[in-house]
Amino acid sequence: MKKKKPFWFFIKREKDLSGVLVAIGPKPFAEYNNKNLQEAKRETKRIINYIIVYLNKFNCVIMLPNYLH
pLDDT in tens, 22-36: 888 888 878 877 887
pLDDT value at residue 46: 87
pLDDT tier for residue 1 given thresholds of 50, 70 and 90: very low
pLDDT higher than 60, residue 69: no
Checking if the pLDDT of 56 tops 70, the result is yes
* Angle at 66 (CA atoms; ends 60, 69), nearest 5 degrees: 110
**Nearest-angstrom CA–CA distance, 59 and 61:** 7
Domain boundaries in the chain? 9-57
- The predicted model scores a pTM of 0.56
